[in-house]
Structure 1
Amino acid sequence: MDEEQLDRIANLPKVELHLHHEGAAPPDFIRQMAAAKGVNLSHIFDAEGRYKYRDFTHFLQVYEAATSVLKTPEDFAKLTTAVLEQSAEAGVVYSETFLSPDFCGGGDVGAWREYLHAIREAATDAEQRLGITLRGVVTCIRHFGPEQAKRSALCAAETAGDWIVGFGMGGDEGRGHQGDFAYAFDMARESGLHLTTHAGEFGGPASVREAIQDLHVTRIGHGVRAIEDLRLVDNIVDQGITLEVCPGSNIRLGLYSTMRHHPIAKLRERGVKVTVSTDDPPFFGTTMKDEYLNLARAFGWDEEVLNDIARTSLEAAFCDAATRDRVAKKLEPAA
């Protein structure tokens, strides 16, 4: 694959479905926010100013330390602008971001509304300036437990609509079971929200099966370890479930040694609807542009394949039909 083709691939319009809002905060943004508030976060950065962590558990601790300086709706408005600017720079035209009421008002509905208003205003401004459309997926935090998840689900249900379009769960897959959170997911479903949950990253195939059976999701965050159980893979195909695959994240956290060893190509060949996202891009040293280029180099995927993945992503997006149709025009090849 020559440099000219790689350049065209890098500049393709992209759709991202798996992006943690706080996890997308550029290190410089968090450093500046911490300095302005007199908070010492030097321990979460390496000598080059990047986030540093030892393993997934430590990653969660660093993530929460970085998030700790985001205290007000105005902070989250500034964060939204920073996140969307870097996404647009990578060619993203539509993004769904995971937002946790636990970090935006402590799970209180009234406070959550204030944070959400500020985030939406910043997103609207970015769309006008940069042409990138953002929608929100409220997430509960698995290691905060089922009772706290109910508070997040209530925040989601109270603000469901044209902008808050889904509900999901992130956090430590090693804590509890998917079914422990069924009440929160039922509440979100009854409010008309679409559902996703993290599974099949560290939890293995069993966690994917639990997510499908107990939470009735239509998308799964990561899900890549389903490849270890081909009957499960076939079930995913039969049910039309979409996987929000984050290859760079999986490699950085040690699930796979290199992109060539990543199962995304095998999953796609077997008929799974796979999408591509960055997860927590500055934590994993990636962008959507990097993801596309690395996939092209590893698997020989050309513009046609990657355009197909972008269209698959848009079809799986939780937004309304009018938004989907508008974004679809941006994925059409230039005349």
Structure 2
Amino acid sequence: MDEERIAAIRALPKVELHLHIEGAAPPGFIRGLAQEKSLRLDGVFAPDGSYAYTDFVHFLQIYEAATSALRSPEDYARLTTAVLEESAANGVIYSECFLSPDFCGGGDLGAWREYLHAIREAADAAERSMGVTLRGIVTCIRHFGPERAKPVALCAAETAGDWIVGFGMGGDENKGRQKDFAYSFDMAREAGLRLTTHAGEWRGPGEVADAVNDLRVERIGHGVRAAEDLALVDRLAEDGVVLEVCPGSNVTLGVYPKLGAHPIDKLRERGVKVTVSTDDPPFFHTSMADEYEALAKTFGWDEEVFDEIARTSVEAAFCDADTKAALLKRLG
């Protein structure tokens, strides 16, 4: 593709459904917070100032170490503004971010409400000034275990509404089983929250099947390993289960050796509803515009395909019908 065509694709309006708010923190922002608090973050940053990690487990450790600089509702308000500035600069008009009460108040409902209020205020201000809409999905952390997930689910249930629109699970997929967290997912479902969970990033297609069967989610974070079982792929397509695909993340972490080996195009061609997100963009040296450019160059996706991806994302979003209608108008 010529440079003019790539520039047009980078500038397209985008919808992102899989974004961890702490993982989207620019490293300079975290470094500045740490300096303000006289907090040492040894080993978190590489010599060039980026985040430093060696593999997925180490990435999780660095992620949590960086998050330790975020200690107050005001810190999260500032973080929200910084993240949405990056989103708006990349043409994102709507984003759903993962928020964990484990990091925002230690799972205490009262503290969680204070953090949530600060995040919402910052998000509302960003929507007015930057034109990017944000909604929250409360997540439990898988490697913290199912008991720690229960107060997180309670925080989600007690603040469910027009802004907290979903519940999910992140963390180390190699710990425990999806069904271990059924109690928390049932609590969130009864509160009217929509459901997603990370699955099929590291474990194989059986993990995706478990997520659908045991937790009854309608979206899957990543889900790409489902491509190894075509019967499962066809089931996902038939049932309309949406995959929150993060290609740059998958390649950087070594799930696939290069983007050309990534199954997103094959999944889409077989009828699976795929969306495109960045996951933890500064950790993976990516952005939504970078993802679009890489997909266009690797798979030949044109503006029509990206419009389909954006509309699928709006359809799969957990926000209300009025917000979806407004987003579709902005897509043109």
TM-score (norm 1): 0.99
The offset of 1:42, in angstroms, is: 4.1
The offset of 1:276, in angstroms, is: 0.1
Report SS of the residue matched to 1:110. Answer: helix
CA RMSD in angstroms, aligned pairs only: 0.5
Amino acid at match of 1:78: R
Q: Deviations over 1:265-285 (max 9, x none)?
A: 000000000000000000000
- Per the alignment, residue 206 of structure 1 pairs with 206
- Per the alignment, residue 259 of structure 1 pairs with 259
Q: Deviations over 1:127-162 (max 9, x none)?
A: 000000000000000000101101110000000000
Equivalence map 1:1-335=2 (5 Å): 1-332=1-332
Amino acid at match of 1:62: I
Identity over aligned residues, as a percent?
70
Report SS of the residue matched to 1:76. Answer: helix
The offset of 1:250, in angstroms, is: 0.1
User: For the residues of structure 2 that align with 1:297 and 1:190, how far apart are their CA atoms?
Assistant: 43
The offset of 1:223, in angstroms, is: 0.1
Amino acid at match of 1:53: Y
User: For the residues of structure 2 that align with 1:17 and 1:27, how far apart are their CA atoms?
Assistant: 22
User: For the residues of structure 2 that align with 1:199 and 1:104, how far apart are their CA atoms?
Assistant: 24
Amino acid at match of 1:47: P
User: For the residues of structure 2 that align with 1:276 and 1:179, how far apart are their CA atoms?
Assistant: 27
Amino acid at match of 2:101: P
Q: Deviations over 1:105-138 (max 9, x none)?
A: 0001110000000000000000000000000000
Q: Deviations over 1:238-280 (max 9, x none)?
A: 1110000000000000011111110000000000000000000
Say how many residue pairs are matched: 332
Q: Deviations over 1:49-87 (max 9, x none)?
A: 000101000000000000001010000000000000001
Q: Deviations over 1:278-329 (max 9, x none)?
A: 0000000000000000000000000110111000001000000011111111
Amino acid at match of 2:5: Q
User: For the residues of structure 2 that align with 1:324 and 1:56, how far apart are their CA atoms?
Assistant: 34
Report SS of the residue matched to 1:284. Answer: coil
User: For the residues of structure 1 that align with 2:330 and 2:62, how far apart are their CA atoms?
Assistant: 36
User: For the residues of structure 2 that align with 1:328 and 1:111, how far apart are their CA atoms?
Assistant: 35
The offset of 1:231, in angstroms, is: 0.5
Amino acid at match of 1:284: F
Amino acid at match of 2:102: D
Which consecutive segments of 4 or more residues in structure 1 shift more than 2 A? none
User: For the residues of structure 2 that align with 1:44 and 1:176, how far apart are their CA atoms?
Assistant: 27
For structure 1, the 5+ residue unaligned runs are: none
Amino acid at match of 2:19: L
User: For the residues of structure 1 that align with 2:102 and 2:96, how far apart are their CA atoms?
Assistant: 18
For structure 2, the 5+ residue unaligned runs are: none
The offset of 1:40, in angstroms, is: 1.3
